[in-house]
Structure 1
Amino acid sequence: MKFGFIAHPTSISLKRYVKMLDILQRTSHDLETGYHREIWQRENLIPFIDFCRIKSINGASCEGLIHYLPLTAEEMLSSARTVQKRVLSGIEKLREEGAELVGLGGFTSIVGKRGIETANQSSIPVTSGNSLTTYAAYKAFCQIFDWLEVHPENTQVAIIGYPGSICLALSKLLLDLGCKLDLVHSGSEKSKEELLKHLPDKYHDQVNLVGNIEACYQRNQLFAAATSSGGIIDPARLQAGSIVVDIALPHDVIRVGADRNDILLLEGGCVTAARQVKFGGESLNIALKQQINGCLAETIVLTLEQRNECFSIGRYLEKEKVLEIGAIAERHGFNAYPFASFGERVDKDRIINLRRYYHRDLTAANYAIEQSEASRREKALQRYRNHINPMMADFLHMQRCDQVFDTAKGCTLINTDGDKFLDMVSGYGCLNLGHNPDIVVKALQHFLENSTANFIQYVSVPQQTALLAEKLCEISPGNMERVFFSNSGTEAVEAALKLAKAATGKSRFIYANNSYHGKTLGALSVTGREKHRKHFNPLIPGCESVPFGDIDALKEVLESGDIAAFIVEPIQGEGGVYTPPEGYLTNVQQLCNDAGCLLIVDEIQTGLGRTGRMFACEWEGIKPDILVLAKSLSGGLIPIGATLSSRQIWDAAYGTTGRFLLHTSTFGGCNIAAVAGLAALEGIYHNKLYENAEKLGQYFKNELIRITKNYPFIGEVRGQGLMIGIQFANEFEGAIEACAREFGTRLPGDWHLTYRFFPDEVRDHLSAAINKMEESLAEMFCMRFVSKLNNDHQILTFVTANSSTVIRIQPPLVISKQEIDYFIASFSMVCEEMSTFLN
């Protein structure tokens, strides 16, 4: 059996979209056959889709056509008689093409007294599709009640558009559940008795007739809307937590003003076909199966059932038929979930996120973490999305990496479901001693149990802080005698830059391309990645970059004079784990000494044993003028950063009565952070973690090279110690252009000729977009490895900050050979599973 469907654009922009489709299909015909006058004749309907074959999940099949009537709702309502004739003409045309049932989309079903006259005059059965549209909205409310954990009998819903056919049928279904309803009508002069006569007497005590929506904003948080006019609900007036199920088109919610994340607008009259449902010839898993308007879906379902009958016509939609068509649709694989909002998918978490507006404890604030596993994870994700970084939450969700962890020890993390994960990120280098190292935990417990004085800096001398400063000076390379404590790596860099500037009286800095030193303004000014910098320009003036590893380029800039310092990482961690050429740092130090330029070595990520030495610069015997540390300095338990320098440099900068307090930090230098730092240093030295990093790091790197040598999409494995980067080299250059050429070649006509006459500006923008898209495809491939290691093998990895095609391997230094072997086996398996294309 074959159906036809008459759709219509529900806005001016969609009308222009239909106009574009029309000109493209006519141009294609013209290009294929040559010019013919009939190609460019006036048409009643615009052909849109020809479904060769639709097959449901239970094996039923049908065919179908969708044509557009290119009129908006306003245009149709302004000339209903004329439009009805055009609809009837369209029905006849579809009948001639084999249709035995025609669905009337939206307003095409309203003209002619809600389709009654159209059905009476049509040569074949028609349906408005309103029954399945209503059912989809009803199921949406059932799901909302469940996810919000509210009981229908204790819930009030505003129905806007009563007594329209959809609103009337939905009202009866919700009343059966026990809901109380505000029925918003058009405000006509009809009496209360006339408006209530559409409902059985048993429901009258559950409803309140409202002539103006204004009265509903403060009374309701749940709304359903299906009007003829659209643009009724002002989202700015909705209470926090409000959900609007916007059932029909045009939308009843006005899209104006700033977006709000405390309300939700759902398209409630749509269904989505299951993956097993096939819509004609599908390619690349692409088919128009999501958010199908209920009116079209009902037409499809009736055709699958071989029921060429008028099903949904007129004001009164029987509840039984609404539930019947819904059950049939679900049997064929059409469901009301997932939801969408203005075309964008809405997941369960977005609705659960609003639950807090329906279950508020106003008597006392509750700061305890929930006990149930599901609740802990859901609540944590909601709170993070609401109050910290919604884009990050969405990114992690998209990458299937949105774990929430409860406990951690060593190299192992345990999530709220009790699953164990091997941590190969270790807080981006903060956890050299692993999670919750006993030596640091016990030191902090002892400190707190004894009520030791903590925040006393700048009014007295903190004992533990002074001791940590002494120990750091003893173990650090160079002639270090002074330490400034802060709270993070980027603050340590800020302190280093100010120290160098104050000590030398010079105004300029040199840094390396592709470097990463932090994201505060000063640190960002010497970070060599434009992606991080561009939104904060202008940055600090006088900062100039040179290629990392290029000694000649550094020499040239140093010769220009007035350079306060050159800041460099011994290994560029966030840059993609790049090591410099052998001897580079030695030459750098000599050049800086000769030029009277200070050398700042950033060991925030490489220091404290990570590369196989306590400090990475020790591999070449470098003695920095200024050294910056952070991350693992406290064992990952207390924020801390440290900036070390010689006595001479510190004295030149701050060694007078007028300058010794020029750079301070409220929290930097507190005793509790120092206690953690002292314990962390003891743990690193006692367990000789730097030796473990050198020995196991070399084994790890060699094994990675061995297992990846036959996979060309792995470009390089590089690094030192337990600081390893896996560079992906899966190129997509030329892929999109080839795709466009393939389509241009195989589509009827000469589309290559058409493209050559696109305006230059359009071609330039397309070229730039293509290049970025191909870069994104390479990054997408790399992120699939991150996702697969996470989901298939319970291993946490991530890409570096400056490159999304490099996976960092930076586990705690307490990692065992057995854990490394598990990673090697898992990564090898992922390589094999992702090896469909070997470049």
Structure 2
Amino acid sequence: MKFGFIAHPTSPDLKRYVKMLDLFERTSTDQNDGYDRKIWDKKNLISFMDFARIRSATGAECEGVVRYMPLTAKEMLGSAREVQQRINRGIIELTAEGAQLVGLGGFTSIIGKRGLQTAESSPVPVTSGNSLTTYAGYKALDQIFQWLNITPNKEPVCIVGYPGSICLSLSKLLLSRGFRLDLLHRNTSTPKQQLLELLPRKYHGQVRLTADIETCYSRNRIYAGATSSGGIVDPDKLLPGSIFIDIALPRDVAADKRPTRKDIIIIDGGCLSASSAVTFGGESLNIAIKQQLNGCLAETMILALENRAETFSIGRNLDPDKVLEIGEIAEKHGFYAYPFSSYGERIEKQHVLNLSRYYQDIPAETSNQSDLAYINGVINSKASHADTLGRHSNYINPMMVDFLKLQHCDHVFIKGQGTQLINEQGDHYLDMVAGYGCLNLGHNPLAVRKALTQYLENHGSNFIQYVSIPEQTAKLADALIHLAPGKLQRVFFSNSGTEAVEAAIKIANAATGNPTIAYLENSYHGKTLGALSITGREKHRKHFQPLLPHCIQVPFADIDALRTVLTQQDIGALIVEIIQGEGGVHVPPEGYLQQVQAVCKETNTLLMVDEIQTGLGRTGRMFACEWEGIEPDVMMLSKSLSGGLIPIGATLCTAQVWDRAYGTSDRFLLHTSTFGGGNLAAVAALSALQAILEQDLPKHALEMGAYFKAELTQVTKNYPFIIDIRGKGLMLGIEISHDFENGVEACAREFATRLPGDWHTTYKFLPDDVRSHLQLAMARIEQTLSEMFCMKFVTKLGMDHKILTFVTANSSTVIRIQPPLIISKDEVDHFVSAFATVCEEMGTFLN
């Protein structure tokens, strides 16, 4: 059976979209067939889409065409008689194309006494689709109440647009379920009792009639709206936690775009989506218009699939039983009201659950007691995976949650032990990220936990800096200076790596009297303002300009360029990483660092070495600078210094540098930290250093790293997308790149060639700036595709093999391999085997 459907744009923007499609189609025909006056004749309906074949979940089939009447609702109401005639002509046109049933969308079903006049004059049955639209709204409300775990009689629902056909039928369905309703109607002369009599008398006690939306704002949190005028509700006036099911078009929420408020949800409620069991015509690349179909179009499809050429939904009175009937039939064929969307963007269950606190009973207590009850509830609640994601999304970083969900990396772990992380289901994951180098001893190392527990049980002092001398901190400084390379003799303690870098910047400035610092291209030293100023990656820096002045970037591993800068410019200090970790695990050429040290000595430039990732055994030596005998003037440590259990950073420098910077009565307290230098962190760090040495982890990292690198190189040698495996010890990087260069342009050219018309010539006459922007966009898309290819390795290792990896901060095509240094050979073999499998599976892109 074939159906036709007459849609219309519901906003001026969508009307322009329709015009664009019309112009595109006519231009294509003109270019392909040559000029013909008929091509540019005025049309009653504009072509939009032909469904060559729709096959439902039951195997039923139909076909159909969708045409646009290029008029907004306002324009249609302004000339209703003329529009009625155009609708009638449109039905005849669709009938001529073979349609046996015509669906009317939006105002095309309202014009002419809600479609009654249209149905009387139509040569084939017509339907407004309002029954299935109502069902979609009904199911959305039902789902919301289920997710929020509230009973129908607990929370009144405001129905906006009573007694319109959708709202009247929806009200009857909800009342039969025990819902309490506030019915918002137009302020007309119709007596309230007459409006009430439209509902069965037995339900009158469950409803409240009002013509004033303002009374609803203070009373209601859940709404369903389906007016013919739209723009009724001001989203800024809705109570926190409000959910509005906007069932029909035009929208009843007065906003062209999704409201920015995070404490309300507006759901596109009259829509259905086809499941994967439904196919639309010749689908290709999993691309088909199957989501968020307006209920009116979906109902027309369902009737055609059922071979029911009948006038199903016409007029004001929609039978609730028929609403349920068409909904059940739709679901049988694979069409469902879920997933939801808001202004076209998907709404997940968690978005709704994030508002659940607004529906909890709040005890009538004092404010303090109420707050305490809330905090106790948060602490004692058994948080699900969804709860944790929701809290992070609401209160920390929603984009991070969306990104991790997109990559299937949205894990929530409740336990960590050794090299393993365990989720609430008890699944074990091998952690090859290890806090980006924080967990050299693994998760929750026993030695550090015991030391911390004992210190706390003994009521050891902690925050005593600047009123006394912290004993454990002094011991830690002693131990670090003993282990550190060169002549380092002073330590400043902070809370993180970036703070350690900030301290180094200030030491260099104060000691030399010269604020200028040279840093290497592609380096990474942190994201606080000072550290960012000497980080050589523009994507981290560009949004925070202006950064610190007097910071000069030098090419990486180019000793001649460095010598030129240090000899020709007045530089106070140079900061380097022994291995550029976040830069993509780049190891400088052998001998380069010795040359760097020599040039610094020749030019009297302070040499500052960032060992935040490379230090404490990671590369096979206690400190990576020992590989080339480097003796820094300043050295920064953090990450694994406390075994990953307590935040700590350390900036070491020579006595000479410290004395020049802070060695006077006026200067010795110029740089301090409230939390830095506490005894508790020092206890953790001392026990971590002890454990690293007792287990000889630098040696283990050297041996295991060499084996790891060799095995990875062997299993990946036949895959051209594995560009490089590099690093030292257990600080490795796998560079992955699948070349998409010119792929997007080739795609555009292919379409321009295959589509009817001469689109190559059309492209030539686009404005220069438009073509320039398109070229840049295509290049950036190709780069993004390569990054997406790499991220699929991260996803597959996690999903298929329960191995956690991630890319480096500066390069999204390099997977970091920085496991705990306690990793076993069996665990290395497991990773290598899994990675080989992923390479084989991703090799499908090669042939």
Please classify the TM superposition score into its range, dividing by the shorter chain length.
Answer: over 0.9
Counterparts of 2:212 and 2:197 in 1: how far apart (Å)?
Answer: 20
**One-letter amino acid of the structure 2 residue matched with residue 548 of structure 1:** F
Counterparts of 2:278 and 2:750 in 1: how far apart (Å)?
Answer: 28
1:349: which partner in 2? 350
1:796: which partner in 2? 804
1:397: which partner in 2? 405
Q: Superposed, which structure 2 residues align to 1:88-103 within 5 Å?
A: 88-103=88-103
1:416: which partner in 2? 424
Q: Select the residue among 499, 508, 511 that pairs with 1:491.
A: 499
1:75-132 Cα shifts (integer Å, max 9, x gaps): 1111111101000000000000000000000100000000011101111100000000
1:591-647 Cα shifts (integer Å, max 9, x gaps): 000100000000000000000000001000110000000000000000000000111
Change (3 A) 1:609 1:769: same
Q: Superposed, which structure 2 residues align to 1:56-455 within 5 Å?
A: 56-255=56-255, 259-362=260-363, 363=370, 364-367=373-376, 375-455=383-463
Asked if structure 1 preserves the Cα contact closer than 8 Å seen for 2:62 and 2:304, the reply is yes
Asked if structure 2 preserves the Cα contact closer than 8 Å seen for 1:225 and 1:252, the reply is yes
**One-letter amino acid of the structure 2 residue matched with residue 316 of structure 1:** N
Change (3 A) 1:368 1:189: closer
The CA RMSD measured in Å over matched residues stands at 1.1
Change (3 A) 1:115 1:256: closer
Q: Secondary structure of the residue that 2:202 maps to in structure 1?
A: helix
**One-letter amino acid of the structure 2 residue matched with residue 179 of structure 1:** F
Q: CA deviation at 1:378?
A: 1.8
**One-letter amino acid of the structure 2 residue matched with residue 60 of structure 1:** A
Matched, 1:772 2:772: no
**One-letter amino acid of the structure 2 residue matched with residue 802 of structure 1:** N
Counterparts of 2:769 and 2:570 in 1: how far apart (Å)?
Answer: 44
Counterparts of 2:241 and 2:698 in 1: how far apart (Å)?
Answer: 53
**One-letter amino acid of the structure 2 residue matched with residue 570 of structure 1:** I
Counterparts of 1:758 and 1:562 in 2: how far apart (Å)?
Answer: 50
Q: Secondary structure of the residue that 1:50 maps to in structure 2?
A: strand
Instruction: Name structure 2 gaps, 5 residues minimum.
Output: 364-369
Asked if structure 2 preserves the Cα contact closer than 8 Å seen for 1:406 and 1:416, the reply is yes
Q: Select the residue among 633, 644, 665 that pairs with 1:625.
A: 633
1:593: which partner in 2? 601
Matched, 1:706 2:707: no
Q: Secondary structure of the residue that 2:702 maps to in structure 1?
A: helix
Counterparts of 1:608 and 1:80 in 2: how far apart (Å)?
Answer: 79
Asked if structure 2 preserves the Cα contact closer than 8 Å seen for 1:169 and 1:317, the reply is yes
Change (3 A) 1:263 1:704: same
Asked if structure 1 preserves the Cα contact closer than 8 Å seen for 2:433 and 2:804, the reply is yes
Q: CA deviation at 1:368?
A: 5.7
**One-letter amino acid of the structure 2 residue matched with residue 136 of structure 1:** A
Bigger drift between 559-568 and 139-148 goes to 559-568
Change (3 A) 1:654 1:371: closer
Counterparts of 1:197 and 1:294 in 2: how far apart (Å)?
Answer: 28
Q: Secondary structure of the residue that 2:584 maps to in structure 1?
A: coil
Task: With the length of structure 1 as denominator, give the TM-score of the two structures.
Answer: 0.99
Q: Which runs of 4+ in 1 moved over 4 A?
A: 368-373
**One-letter amino acid of the structure 1 residue matched with residue 489 of structure 2:** E
Matched, 1:679 2:680: no
Counterparts of 2:594 and 2:37 in 1: how far apart (Å)?
Answer: 79
Counterparts of 1:547 and 1:366 in 2: how far apart (Å)?
Answer: 52
Counterparts of 2:269 and 2:618 in 1: how far apart (Å)?
Answer: 54
1:545-589 Cα shifts (integer Å, max 9, x gaps): 111111011000001242111000000000000000000110000
Asked if structure 2 preserves the Cα contact closer than 8 Å seen for 1:561 and 1:595, the reply is no
Q: Secondary structure of the residue that 1:563 maps to in structure 2?
A: coil
**One-letter amino acid of the structure 2 residue matched with residue 116 of structure 1:** L
Asked if structure 1 preserves the Cα contact closer than 8 Å seen for 2:441 and 2:688, the reply is yes
Counterparts of 1:430 and 1:331 in 2: how far apart (Å)?
Answer: 53
1:48: which partner in 2? 48
1:494-533 Cα shifts (integer Å, max 9, x gaps): 1011101111111211000000000111100000000000
Q: CA deviation at 1:478?
A: 1.0
Q: CA deviation at 1:366?
A: 3.3
1:378-408 Cα shifts (integer Å, max 9, x gaps): 2211111111111101111111111111011
**One-letter amino acid of the structure 2 residue matched with residue 99 of structure 1:** A
2:535: which partner in 1? 527
Counterparts of 1:198 and 1:114 in 2: how far apart (Å)?
Answer: 18
Q: CA deviation at 1:837?
A: 1.8
Counterparts of 1:433 and 1:368 in 2: how far apart (Å)?
Answer: 34
2:577: which partner in 1? 569
Q: CA deviation at 1:417?
A: 1.5
Asked if structure 2 preserves the Cα contact closer than 8 Å seen for 1:572 and 1:579, the reply is yes
Matched, 1:651 2:659: yes
1:753: which partner in 2? 761
Counterparts of 1:151 and 1:168 in 2: how far apart (Å)?
Answer: 22
Q: CA deviation at 1:457?
A: 0.6
1:241-288 Cα shifts (integer Å, max 9, x gaps): 100000001111122796011100000000000112111111100000
Aligned length: 838
Asked if structure 1 preserves the Cα contact closer than 8 Å seen for 2:45 and 2:90, the reply is yes
Asked if structure 1 preserves the Cα contact closer than 8 Å seen for 2:508 and 2:515, the reply is no
**One-letter amino acid of the structure 1 residue matched with residue 210 of structure 2:** V
Q: CA deviation at 1:838?
A: 2.4
**One-letter amino acid of the structure 2 residue matched with residue 119 of structure 1:** A
Counterparts of 1:556 and 1:36 in 2: how far apart (Å)?
Answer: 70
2:7: which partner in 1? 7
Counterparts of 1:724 and 1:184 in 2: how far apart (Å)?
Answer: 64
Counterparts of 2:844 and 2:21 in 1: how far apart (Å)?
Answer: 36
Task: With the length of structure 2 as denominator, give the TM-score of the two structures.
Answer: 0.98
Q: CA deviation at 1:360?
A: 4.8
Matched, 1:667 2:688: no
Bigger drift between 588-597 and 501-510 goes to 501-510
Counterparts of 1:634 and 1:302 in 2: how far apart (Å)?
Answer: 67
Counterparts of 1:784 and 1:194 in 2: how far apart (Å)?
Answer: 62
Q: Select the residue among 728, 747, 751 that pairs with 1:743.
A: 751
Counterparts of 2:792 and 2:381 in 1: how far apart (Å)?
Answer: 30
Q: CA deviation at 1:367?
A: 3.6
Asked if structure 2 preserves the Cα contact closer than 8 Å seen for 1:370 and 1:376, the reply is no
Q: Secondary structure of the residue that 2:843 maps to in structure 1?
A: coil
Q: Secondary structure of the residue that 2:844 maps to in structure 1?
A: coil
Q: Select the residue among 680, 702, 707 that pairs with 1:694.
A: 702
1:30: which partner in 2? 30
Asked if structure 1 preserves the Cα contact closer than 8 Å seen for 2:350 and 2:387, the reply is no
Counterparts of 1:604 and 1:670 in 2: how far apart (Å)?
Answer: 19
Asked if structure 2 preserves the Cα contact closer than 8 Å seen for 1:468 and 1:677, the reply is yes
Q: CA deviation at 1:354?
A: 1.1
Q: CA deviation at 1:193?
A: 1.4
1:208-233 Cα shifts (integer Å, max 9, x gaps): 00111111011000000000111111
Q: Superposed, which structure 2 residues align to 1:460-479 within 5 Å?
A: 460-479=468-487
**One-letter amino acid of the structure 2 residue matched with residue 70 of structure 1:** P
Counterparts of 1:357 and 1:577 in 2: how far apart (Å)?
Answer: 48
Counterparts of 1:15 and 1:653 in 2: how far apart (Å)?
Answer: 68
Instruction: Name structure 1 gaps, 5 residues minimum.
Output: none
Counterparts of 1:143 and 1:827 in 2: how far apart (Å)?
Answer: 41
**One-letter amino acid of the structure 1 residue matched with residue 21 of structure 2:** L
Matched, 1:784 2:785: no
Q: Select the residue among 500, 508, 511 that pairs with 1:503.
A: 511
